Amino acid sequence: MLERGEVANSWRRERWDSLRLLTPNWLSRLPGHRYEGPDPDGYMTSGEVVDFIERFAAVTQAPVRSNTNVISVRPVDDGYHVSTSQGDFRARAVVLASGAYNLATVPGFSTAVPVSVEQRTPLDYRGPAHLPEGGVLVVGASATGVQLAAELQRSGRLVTLAVGEHVRLPRVYRKRDVLWWMHESGMWDQRYDEVDDLTRARRLPSPQLVGTPERDTLDLSALTALGVELVGRWAAVRDGSALFSGGLRNVCSLADLKMNRLLATFDEWARATGREAEVGPPEEFPPTAIPATARLRLDLRGGGIASIVWATGYRPDYGWLDVPVVDEKGRLRHEGGVLETPGLYALGLPLLRRRRSTFLNGIEDDARAVIDHLARDLAARRIA
Ligand SMILES: Cc1cc2nc3c(=O)[nH]c(=O)nc-3n(C[C@H](O)[C@H](O)[C@H](O)COP(=O)(O)OP(=O)(O)OC[C@H]3O[C@@H](n4cnc5c(N)ncnc54)[C@H](O)[C@@H]3O)c2cc1C
Which residue's CA is minimally distant from atom 41 of ligand 1?
70
Which residue's CA is minimally distant from atom 27 of ligand 1?
99
Which residue's CA is minimally distant from atom 20 of ligand 1?
360
Confidence band for 47, pLDDT divided at 50, 70 and 90: very high
Confidence band for 382, pLDDT divided at 50, 70 and 90: confident
Confidence band for 346, pLDDT divided at 50, 70 and 90: very high
CB 43 within 8 A of CB 211: yes
Which residue's CA is minimally distant from atom 4 of ligand 1?
21
Q: Where are the beta strands (DSSP E) in 223-333?
A: 229-231, 234-238, 241-244, 297-299, 305-310, 314-315
Distance 198 CA to ligand 1 centre (A): 22
Confidence band for 384, pLDDT divided at 50, 70 and 90: confident
Q: How far separated are the first and last CA of the chain, in Å rounded?
A: 27
Give pLDDT tens digits for 138-194.
999 999 999 999 999 999 999 999 999 999 999 999 999 999 999 999 999 999 999
The contacts of residue 273 (CB under 8 Å, 6+ apart) are none
CB 300 within 8 A of CB 110: no
The DSSP bridge partners found for residue 20 are 45
* pLDDT above 90: residue 78: no
Which residue's CA is minimally distant from atom 8 of ligand 1?
21
* pLDDT above 90: residue 135: yes
Percent of the chain with pLDDT over 90: 97
Ligand 1 pocket residues where CB is under 6 Å: 2-5, 9-10, 15, 21-23, 28, 69-70, 97-99, 101-102, 144, 314, 320, 348, 358-361
* Parallel, antiparallel or unpaired: strands 241-244 and 103-104: unpaired
Q: What is the pLDDT of residue 81?
A: 98
Other CB atoms within 10 Å distance of the CB of residue 107: 14
Distance 178 CA to ligand 1 centre (A): 23
The secondary structure of residue 329, as a DSSP letter, is T
Confidence band for 336, pLDDT divided at 50, 70 and 90: very high
Confidence band for 38, pLDDT divided at 50, 70 and 90: very high
Instruction: Find the mean pLDDT for residues 287-300.
Output: 95
Number of the ligand 1 atom closest to the C-alpha atom of 101: 53
Q: What is the pTM of this model?
A: 0.96
- The C-alpha angle with vertex 373 and arms to 370 and 375, in degrees rounded to 5, equals 110
Best residue among 60, 360, 366 to mutate for probing ligand 1's pocket (most ligand atoms within 8 Å of CB) is 360
Compute the mean pLDDT over every residue in the chain, rounded to the nearest whole number. Answer: 96
Handedness of CA 127, 132, 135, 139 (dihedral sign): negative
Instruction: Find the mean pLDDT for residues 25-39.
Output: 95
Question: Which long-range contacts does 377-380 make (Cβ < 8 Å, 24+ apart)?
Answer: 377/93, 377/342, 377/343, 378/92, 378/93
Number of the ligand 1 atom closest to the C-alpha atom of 20: 8
Q: What is the pLDDT of residue 320?
A: 97
Q: What is the pLDDT of residue 383?
A: 85
Distance 63 CA to ligand 1 centre (A): 18
Instruction: Find the mean pLDDT for residues 357-362.
Output: 94
Instruction: Find the mean pLDDT for residues 2-11.
Output: 98
Q: Where are the alpha helices (DSSP H) in the chain?
A: 9-13, 46-59, 143-154, 178-184, 198-202, 220-226, 248-272, 363-383
Which residue's CA is minimally distant from atom 38 of ligand 1?
98
Instruction: Find the mean pLDDT for residues 287-313.
Output: 96
Which residue's CA is minimally distant from atom 29 of ligand 1?
10
